[in-house]
Structure 1
């Protein structure tokens, strides 16, 4: 049975249940942007893979294999084919469908996928980017605790609107939080689904704290871990801004083999002149999410007053 969902500004028809996403209520068959189907890709993988054990990438075409999970084909910005391996659970397939597959779809559609969490603060969007484990979702959760709304967690879709202004399109209403973060926020994991079996990272639905509006991107904050005791917050400018956006583009190793380097440079060059960009270093020896939230809010509001 196929179901139609709305996410990343797209109408998605899927043979796989995607409970994380919002089901679409207004659509017609000619309005489907992306189709997700199950098929057998074993022979295609053997034909294309060559020396690379995981990825085969060319223009408008990404083929990858995750051992004991599945083989995935993303092409033309509108098709995802999934070939499950063995008795893999649907949770594991969804992890890659909503992550790597959607990241590839967005790139093929010339939508910039940043790796992080995006929030609405005083009517504008701010993206918190960083490497895995930097604490992006935990920091975003601290904002949600204060009543702010989430636009995306993990893959952030960024485009330029008709006026050339960078905007974020809402993804879907879910966060991923480690058990340690739940503990710090006084939450229990009971009732939440682990991302993968035996994993201590949980899927947290946030439908009541999700913004469904396309929102202007006003700032990007790179979150880094440091062994220092103090929090450091600095402005990022010039070429460093371009480097930050490239470094935190989701699955950025797709860009060159997919022939998207020029597109990525031109898009991010247009973006950096319209954004405030910061680097925020947080100590790893203590929980700082609430302090970081205060610091970001005071800085953002100060910048708005200057403008």
Structure 2
């Protein structure tokens, strides 16, 4: 079993080929970083759970993990992402990767925001949301530049925001590239959400831009596999007792609604999580993984 997981990491995670980031170069020049990455990968493999399986998470949801998918829980998933430059996230609840050589990764979070009203989905302006998303990306570029990572540019929608009120699910996707980079070399975040009584689940599906059209169905399959436990669903909301979030659905896309309410801290949190999860380290993992696992002895790859 360990050998199977090792093979899926070698072949399944060259998923974000969006141009050069500092991470692989830093790992090559700094043995300590490379060692941390190897240790994080090893830990992730030890706790990885292969589908089909029912995975309970955060006392909120169940994921009916299909065959061909592998779930890596916290804290190992967080350690893995941090080893490639991503900051810690208290909201993260795990990640899903393919067991069959696919080139994608899905990062899962549960944000206990309170009940999010979805009224604004009826009237939002997708062009304005994209402008807000671009502004947030530019603001975050200051932090990225200070940390030695390339600045980013928001090119446009891959999929305009779509909210299905009957299932309380939101999908949207935008194309992000390194400034001066080529669109065909970019990665895509295909963002999916499921609203609940106390907050929302975010499943952030990341893949090379050239594959997103073929892989949208995978992201949607994973989204459909998420269900809230009894009493925690969106329809279980009790207006007499439950907390209502200070922002609406648009804030999950670009912080637009939060900005109108003057909640600058909320905007900063959304913008930071969005931008950092997209790119810090993830776009260049493929080559780094190959180098990490080539150090393994051939016997380690036995079934």
The structure richer in strand per residue is: 1
Superposition TM-score, scaled by structure 1 size:
0.30
The structure richer in helix per residue is: 2
Superposition TM-score, scaled by structure 2 size:
0.30
Whose relative contact order is higher, 1 or 2, with alpha carbons under 8 Å and at least 6 apart?
A: 2
